[in-house]
Amino acid sequence: MATPRLDNDLAAVGAGLDALDAPNQEQRPSLGRRFLRTAVPPLIAFALLLGVWQALWAAAFWPEYQLPSPSSVWAAVAEAIETGRALDVLWTSVHRAVLGFLTAVLIATPLGLLIAKVRVVRAAIGSLLSGLQSLPSVAWVPAGILWFGATPSTIYFVVLMGSVPSIANGLVAGVDQIPPLLPRVGQALGAGRLAAARHILLPAALPGYLAGLKQGWAFSWRSLMAAEIIATSPQLGEGLGQYLHNGSSLNDISMVIAAIFLILLVGVGIELLLFRPLERAVLRARGLTGAL
């Protein structure tokens, strides 16, 4: 029997060990410093790019209809914003992309779980799904037009074909990377199949799933642009892709570059405002700060 005194000694040794042994928590740098570290370098790079562009234009290596000046592109963007056209165009495209992406998530999540957990399903369609990832989704546009006509259905079809494989594959990779001990622990703690999926499998696979979502968003956006550039009809309204297409038809290089700029802006903006912080929060909570 341990005497109370011995017990106290033990507690003291234990507390000492805890204090000595617990990993040190690195301090998070202040907000201003983080801004300096993350936002300033890309801004400088952008400014440099603009400078080079301006210089090339000033040197007049290429004719004006091939290389417009930064200011004329800016004028095209400003005009589109002022007339409200930019907002309409952005709204049309972004809401399509978001809707398509959310649908893709709803389809790809159960699909990914099935592939990851059911051996026959994996054998049957696992490699097909990875293969689909390397198929440019623009290849689906002609088929979509033949099947659905130049309608929104075609656009959503192409977006889904582009993003579902990425999301499902991300989830499969996430599940495959779960340490095998965790599901066993779950079983030992009394988790049934469904409870295990909800409380162990999905949270454990979250980093891979998020990576898949991020890529899935990029593919949605890209596929949408491909579909919008190729499939144009009055029925479809004017999205960013059609705006780009129109610029090209009008031989208006400023408008074309303005469209590319807006496409990039949306892609990068969603990545920076949504996925990057989400990924960071998830990885940081698990102590995986190496990549950040």
Partner 1 sequence: MTATLEPAAQSTLDAAVTLSSVRKSFGHGANSVLALDGVDLRVAPGEFVCLLGASGCGKSTLLNLVAGLDAPTSGSIRLTTSRPAVMFQEAALMPWLTAARNVELPLRLAGLKRGARREKAGELLSLVRLAEAGHKRPHELSGGMRQRVALARALASTLGSAEEGTPGLLLMDEPFAALDAITRDVLQAELVRVWRETSTAILFVTHDVREAVRLAQRVVLLSSRPGRVVREWSTVDGDEPALINDITTRLREVISGHAAA
Give residues in contact with partner 1 (CB under 8 A): 1-2, 7, 10-11, 13-15, 17-18, 20-23, 25, 179, 181-182, 184-185, 187-191, 195, 199-200, 203-204, 206, 282, 285-287
Q: Give, rounded to a whole angstrom, the gap between the first and last alpha carbons of the chain.
A: 50
Q: Which is nearer to partner 1, 16 or 29 (CB)?
A: 16
Question: 89-101: string of b/e by CB count within 10 Å (b at 16+)?
Answer: bbebbbebbeebb
The least CB distance from residue 217 to partner 1, in Å, is 22
Q: Which is nearer to partner 1, 14 or 41 (CB)?
A: 14
Joined together, the tokens standing for residue 59 give 């040197």
What is the C-alpha to C-alpha distance for residues 16 and 106, in angstroms, rounded to an integer? Answer: 50
What is the C-alpha to C-alpha distance for residues 243 and 255, in angstroms, rounded to an integer? Answer: 8
The least CB distance from residue 87 to partner 1, in Å, is 39
The least CB distance from residue 2 to partner 1, in Å, is 7
Q: Which of 175, 168, 167 lies closest to 217 in space, CA to CA?
A: 167
The least CB distance from residue 13 to partner 1, in Å, is 6
Indicate the SS3 state at residue 1: coil
Q: Which is nearer to partner 1, 114 or 117 (CB)?
A: 117
Q: Which is nearer to partner 1, 14 or 142 (CB)?
A: 14
Q: Which is nearer to partner 1, 107 or 182 (CB)?
A: 182
